[in-house]
Structure 1
Amino acid sequence: MSNSTAAKQPIFDAGDVGAQAQGFVNASVVWVQAYWLQILIAAAAGAAIVVVLHTARRFGRKLCNRPQALGGWGIVVGKAIGRTSNFFIVMLAAKLVAGYAATPGEVATTISFLFTVAAVFQAAVWVREIILGAIEHRTQSEHYSGEALLSAMGLIRLLVTFLVFAVALVVVLDNLGVNVTGLVAGLGVGGIAIGLAAQGIFADLFAALAIIFDRPFRRGDSISYDTASGSVEAIGLKSTRIRGIDGEERVISNKNLLDKEILNNTQRNHRRAKFVIGVTYFTPADVCARLPALLKEVVEANDKIFIRAGFTGFGASSLDFEVQFDSDGPDYASFYNGRSAVGIAILKRLNDEKIEIAFPTQVNMMAAPDGSVVMPYPDIKASSDPAATPA
Structure 2
Amino acid sequence: MENFSIGSEQIMNFVATFGPKLLAAVATLVIGLWIVKLIVKGSVKMLNRSSVDDALVSFLKSLISILLKVMVYITALGMLGIQMTSFIAVLGAAGLAVGLALQGSLSNFAGGVLILFFKPFKVGDFIERGSESGTVERIDILHTVLRTPNNQLVVIPNGQLANSPITNYTTEETRRAVFPIGISYDSDVKKAREIILRVLNEDERILEDPAPMVVLTNLGDSSLDLSARAWTKTENYWGFFWDNLEKIKEEFDKDGIEMPFPQRDIHLIKEE
Which category of TM-score, normalised to the shorter sequence, fits these structures? Answer: 0.7 to 0.9
C-alpha separation in 2, matches of 1:175 and 1:110: 8
Summarize the alignment of residues 148-163 of structure 1 with structure 2, pairs less than 5 Å apart.
157=62, 160-163=64-67
RMSD of aligned Cα (Å): 4.1
Superimposed CA distance per residue, residues 340-368 of structure 1 (whole angstroms, 9 cap, x where no aligned partner)? 33223323443444333222223434456
Structure 1 residues 363 and 192: alpha-carbon distance in aligned structure 2, compared to 1, 3 A threshold: closer
Secondary structure class of the residue paired with 2:170: helix
Residue of structure 1 in register with 2:4 after alignment = none
For residue 227 of structure 1, the aligned residue among 125, 128, 131 is 131
Residue of structure 2 in register with 1:361 after alignment = 263
Residue of structure 2 in register with 1:205 after alignment = 109
For residue 323 of structure 1, the aligned residue among 205, 211, 228 is 228
1:340 matched to 2:245: no
Partner amino acid, structure 1, of 2:126: S
C-alpha separation in 2, matches of 1:323 and 1:205: 44
Summarize the alignment of residues 84-163 of structure 1 with structure 2, pairs less than 5 Å apart.
115-128=27-40, 157=62, 160-163=64-67
- Cα shift at 1:137: 6.5
1:15 matched to 2:9: yes
C-alpha separation in 1, matches of 2:217 and 2:248: 17
- Cα shift at 1:267: 1.3
Secondary structure class of the residue paired with 2:259: coil
C-alpha separation in 1, matches of 2:9 and 2:54: 64
**Does the Cα contact within 8 Å between 2:52 and 2:116 map onto a contact in 1?**
no
Superimposed CA distance per residue, residues 205-246 of structure 1 (whole angstroms, 9 cap, x where no aligned partner)? 343333333223333332221112222223334333222211
**Does the Cα contact within 8 Å between 1:302 and 1:341 map onto a contact in 2?**
no
Instruction: Give 5+ residue unaligned stretches, structure 2.
Output: 1-6
Larger Rg: 1
Structure 1 residues 178 and 111: alpha-carbon distance in aligned structure 2, compared to 1, 3 A threshold: closer
C-alpha separation in 1, matches of 2:87 and 2:8: 29
Structure 1 residues 239 and 185: alpha-carbon distance in aligned structure 2, compared to 1, 3 A threshold: same
TM-score after normalising by structure 1: 0.53
Partner amino acid, structure 2, of 1:345: K
Secondary structure class of the residue paired with 2:122: coil
C-alpha separation in 2, matches of 1:143 and 1:122: 24
1:259 matched to 2:163: yes
Partner amino acid, structure 1, of 2:12: G
Summarize the alignment of residues 367-386 of structure 1 with structure 2, pairs less than 5 Å apart.
none
Secondary structure class of the residue paired with 1:245: coil
C-alpha separation in 2, matches of 1:231 and 1:221: 6
Secondary structure class of the residue paired with 1:267: coil
Structure 1 residues 113 and 228: alpha-carbon distance in aligned structure 2, compared to 1, 3 A threshold: closer
Secondary structure class of the residue paired with 2:196: helix
Residue of structure 2 in register with 1:385 after alignment = none
Structure 1 residues 257 and 184: alpha-carbon distance in aligned structure 2, compared to 1, 3 A threshold: same
Partner amino acid, structure 2, of 1:316: D
TM-score after normalising by structure 2: 0.72
Superimposed CA distance per residue, residues 28-54 of structure 1 (whole angstroms, 9 cap, x where no aligned partner)? xxxxxxxxxxxxxxxxxxxxxxxxxxx
Secondary structure class of the residue paired with 2:181: strand
Secondary structure class of the residue paired with 1:316: coil
C-alpha separation in 2, matches of 1:253 and 1:235: 10
Superimposed CA distance per residue, residues 164-199 of structure 1 (whole angstroms, 9 cap, x where no aligned partner)? 222113333555676644443333223222322333
Residue of structure 2 in register with 1:300 after alignment = 201
Aligned length: 258
C-alpha separation in 1, matches of 2:124 and 2:180: 34
C-alpha separation in 1, matches of 2:133 and 2:79: 57
Secondary structure class of the residue paired with 1:278: strand
